[in-house]
Structure 1
Amino acid sequence: MDQIDKEIVKELQKNAKISMKELAEVVHLSSPAVIERVRKLEEQQVIEGYHAQVDVKKMERPISAIILFKSKDCKALSNFCHNHPDVLECYRVAGEISYIVKLATNSVKSLEKFIDESMLYGTPSTNIVLSSYENKVIEPFTLEG
């Protein structure tokens, strides 16, 4: 990846709906050259897909929580989370905590139900999200020196 590819990726992260013509103008290339570079980035799976950013609150899920787990059965907890409709993200991590789960749900009652059901697989520690900031653009870095 050269600097132009990195700029293309950065711009697509900001706005995946940008036209190839507009993207070409931003990175100072012709439209065909940008189209070819984007195609190659897709083939190399640097760009894995294009997604809609959804506001979970407007999808009737006003309660977000981050739940830390000391799991008893990692595989079972992972399967439970993978199949649960309220789970947005699930990370297996190293350390005292074995999983971090981010979920969005419609009520305290449904959050409580998730916690109760998940206790079969480990010990949860629930943190209700009051506010958040999400950086939607990953800055590619280079090692210099």
Structure 2
Amino acid sequence: MGDRGAAGARPLTDLDNYDVKILRALVRNGRISWRDLADRIGLSLTPTLRRVRKLETQGFIEGYTATLDERRLAGTLSAFISVRLERQSEDALSVFEERVTRLTEVTSCFQTTGNADYLIRVVVHDLEHYQKLLSELTRIPNVAHITSSFALKSVVRRPGLSM
């Protein structure tokens, strides 16, 4: 079919127009009924279901999820924290990643290039909550430097990959 690359991803060229229509519809509404999905993409129910199952099996669809109101559930302050480690050994990276995954305030964490080793997005209730979180981050072994930026507003926020 196509070269999957190092990460095993399948190229979009493996998808036809019906597959793309299915993915677009499910990104917009993961709770759409199978009948409505079939009507929307222009196929009957059985081929639509077969295609959805194939997209799931091939890994194009990883799962279905609800979008929660993080302001009501987690807090109103969103911050981006850049973390630089003293060493970038495999062990040091693993320890940091394991500890960060335990912090419930962390909504995403990316290993990055450039001045920081990691970029973390967190949501907290207030500055006091943020200070406590910052204290926890600084206690993680091998953390050398932390800088933070607070989000003023969200300009683009997509529930999934834009198709």
- Whether TM-score is above 0.5 comes out as yes
**Counterpart pick for 2:123 among 104, 115, 121:** 104
Give the match's secondary structure for 1:113: helix
For the aligned residue pairs, the C-alpha RMSD in angstroms reads 1.5
Matched-pair contact (CA < 8 Å) for 1:10–1:137: no
Code of the aligned partner of 1:21? R
Match of 1:65 among 79, 82, 93: 79
Report sequence identity in percent: 25
What stretches of structure 2 of length at least 5 have no aligned partner?
1-14, 87-91
Q: Specify the SS of the correspondent of 1:127.
A: strand
Kindly state the Cα deviation for residue 92 of structure 1 after the two structures are TM-superposed: 0.5
Q: TM-score, normalised by structure 1?
A: 0.89
Long gaps (5+) in structure 1: 141-145
**Of 10, 13, 20, the match for 2:27:** 13
- 2:153 is matched with which residue? 131
Mapped to 2, the partners of 1:31 and 1:46 lie a distance apart of 20
Secondary structure at the residue paired with 1:79? Answer: helix
* SS of residue in 2 equivalent to 1:6: helix
Establish whether residue 79 from structure 1 lines up as the match of residue 103 from structure 2.
no
SS of the residue 2:98 aligns to: helix
Query: Runs of at least 4 residues of structure 1 off by over 3 A?
Result: none
Q: Separation in 2 of the partners of 1:131 and 1:31?
A: 41
Cα distance in 2 between the residues matched to 1:15 and 1:31: 17
After superposition, the Cα gap between the structure-2 partners of 1:123 and 1:53, relative to the gap in structure 1 and judged at 3 Å, is same
User: SS of 1:38's equivalent?
Assistant: helix
Shift in Å, 1:56:
0.6
Deviation at 1:116, TM superposition (A): 2.0
Report SS of the residue matched to 1:52: coil
Q: Which secondary structure state, in structure 2, belongs to the residue aligned with residue 103 of structure 1?
A: strand
Match of 1:38 in 2: 52
